Amino acid sequence: MMKKTKKFLNNLYSLLFFLILVAIWEIFSRTGTVPNYILPAPTMIIYSLFTNFNFMGRHILITIYETLTGFIISVLLGIIIAVIMDGLPFVKKVIYPLLITSQTIPIITLAPLFIIWFGYGYLPKIIIVILICFFPISVSLLQGLGSVDIELINLLKSMGAGRYQIYKIVKLPASLPSLFSGLKIAATYSIMGATVGEWVGGKDGIGVYMLRAKYSFATDKVFGAIIIITVLSICLLKLIEFIEKKSMPWVFYEKIETMGE
Amino acid sequence: MSNKVDALKIKKSFGSLDTIRDVTVSLEKNKFVSILGPSGCGKSTLFDIISGLEKPDSGDILINDINYTGKTGKVSYMHQKDLLLPWKTILDNTCIPLQIKGLKITQARDKANTYFNLFGLSGFENYYPNQLSGGMRQRAALLRTYLFSDDIMLLDEPFGGLDAITRRSMQLWLLKLLENFKSSILFITHSVDEAIFLSDSIYLFSKRPAFIKATFDIDIPRPRDYKTFTSARFNEIKEKIINLLQSE
């Protein structure tokens, strides 16, 4: 109980500080110290967000579609590759260094290539999301699978368990926490990946909406898009956290007092 | 021979580290045999070999007179750490060996459930391991071990991680529990008291590389209880063992 109150207070302080910053911003914009096309007032941003929301809706849905498709494919691909690398050390030896090295390429710089190869449709955006999300997922899971308590595995072996049973009963559940930390990293980057893909070339999506707003110096709309992207990222992150809690109930139970030694 | 387990002339080294020099251990049906020795003397390695997790450099493991050297899945093996899976409830943890044997989870739960009372775990079926105390976790681990094979059980310092008071009550509890079972048990400990109290016979191991310094038949009549710890015969045997341990 105490802990909760304390946490709430801490959050309250940072919320207050944030509100103060926003208020200062509002004052500067409203008094004309900074022109509106440079920095529109927060209330103006919110207002334009509401009046434009109908128009934005389609763009938002497109970006969500690209992100989720890419994300889900990354999850499947990441899990499959990690399990294969964990199960077959030779494959790991071959693929793992390449995988690490590939991460030194800034994925965003590849975006123009994908436009050339795959056109202006949704596919190049989805591919960028996959390239960004797949790596943290597979590497975290691989690390998790590799650090499972060897004694647990031996225990199951001594009971005559096969490879499949060892994965199902011990290795996969034990590496769930690592998998979820990878998923959370991927989730925070995924929307950004789709947006950047849209910047490079496309017909719709938040990224496209943002570019158009930029060209017409509608700075309030650019801010509106930023807010939407941030909210979407947070929503995806919270969704992952929710699934994490549901799928690992044992982590969130508290120890009870037991008698009867 | 009609022994449950025979470990014959076992030798094992890891690289240049001689772990077991030459050890022959046998376990008769329905007996409780302890292996007593200093820490790190290779007792656990011997259990790894008997359970089939490790292969000996030379020597054979006979289980019910059949050669099972290097083959797993014949005897049940319990470690000092309870090794309960934190993501499974106590009931589902005890079901693991049954599931590995191919039972459906519902059948496994039905079977495991019937033992919860006997193991002092009823009411805790749906708790997670980290919600329970050390003693209860060990009992759950023992039940899981028992459900894998009630015929031959290897117990590697099952009470080693418990505090002294809990440990004593677990020893008394185990002794009572075993009156109901027909299991044959090999038990590792480095507590002299525990070995004498529970066993029918004791193998005294040397420091590494392990060989057998002495064997003792414990002729203290059963049923034993907490008074056994202070009986004259108990202390006679204890003195002999301690003297031998000192003479290294």
Domains and CATH numbers, chain B: 1-75+153-168+186-248 (3.40.50.300), 82-150 (no CATH)
Which residues, at least 6 apart from B81, have a Cβ–Cβ distance to it below 8 Å?
A151, B161
The whole-number pLDDT of residue A254 equals 60
The 10 Å Cβ neighbour count of residue B242 is 11
Residues A173-217 have pLDDT tens digits of 999 999 999 999 999 999 999 999 999 888 899 999 999 999 999
Supply the angle between the helices B90-100 and B134-148 in degrees, to the nearest 10: 20
The owner of tokens 């889900």 is A72
Name the interface residues of A facing B (CB cutoff 8 Å): 149, 151-152, 154-161, 165, 169-170, 173-174, 176, 248-251, 253-256, 258, 260-261
Nearest to B133 among A158, A165, A261 (CB): A261
Residue A54: Cβ-neighbour burial (10 angstroms; 0-12, 13-18, 19+): exposed
The whole-number pLDDT of residue A259 equals 45
The owner of tokens 């899976």 is B85
Residues from chain B that touch A248, judged by Cβ atoms under 8 A, are 87
Residues from chain A that touch B120, judged by Cβ atoms under 8 A, are 260
Residues from chain A that touch B124, judged by Cβ atoms under 8 A, are 258
Give alpha helix (H) positions in B101-163.
105-113, 134-148
Residue A142 has pLDDT above 70, yes or no: yes
Question: Is the dihedral angle over the CA atoms B177, B178, B181, B187 positive or is it negative?
Answer: positive
Residue A256 has pLDDT above 80, yes or no: no
CB contact under 8 A, A159 and B76: yes
CB contact under 8 A, B76 and A176: no
Q: Is residue B126 within 8 Å of residue A248, measured between CB atoms?
A: no
CB contact under 8 A, B87 and A165: no
Nearest to B166 among A161, A253, A261 (CB): A261
Selection from B69, B46, B38 nearest residue B155 by Cα: B46
Which two tokens mark B240?
Answer: 């002999």
Mean pLDDT of A227-249: 93
Distance CA A66, CA A248 (A): 28
Residue A228 has pLDDT above 80, yes or no: yes
Residues from chain B that touch A254, judged by Cβ atoms under 8 A, are 131
Residue A224 has pLDDT above 90, yes or no: yes
The whole-number pLDDT of residue A232 equals 94
Task: Give, in order, the Cα–Cα distances in Å from A44 to each of A36, A221, A223.
Answer: 9, 10, 10
Residue of B nearest to A152 (CA): B83
Q: How many CB pairs under 8 A join A and B?
A: 79
The whole-number pLDDT of residue B1 equals 53
Which two tokens mark A34?
Answer: 């900074």
The owner of tokens 């759950």 is B140
Which DSSP state fits B68? Answer: -
- Spans in chain B with pLDDT lower than 50: none
Residue B230: Cβ-neighbour burial (10 angstroms; 0-12, 13-18, 19+): exposed
Q: Which CATH architecture has domain A53-245?
A: Orthogonal Bundle (1.10)
Residue A1 has pLDDT above 70, yes or no: no
The whole-number pLDDT of residue B153 equals 92
Name the interface residues of B facing A (CB cutoff 8 Å): 48, 51-53, 72-73, 76-77, 79, 81, 83, 85-88, 96-97, 99-101, 120, 124, 127-133, 135-136, 148, 165-166, 169-170
Helix, strand or coil for residue B40? coil
* Mean pLDDT taken over chain A: 90
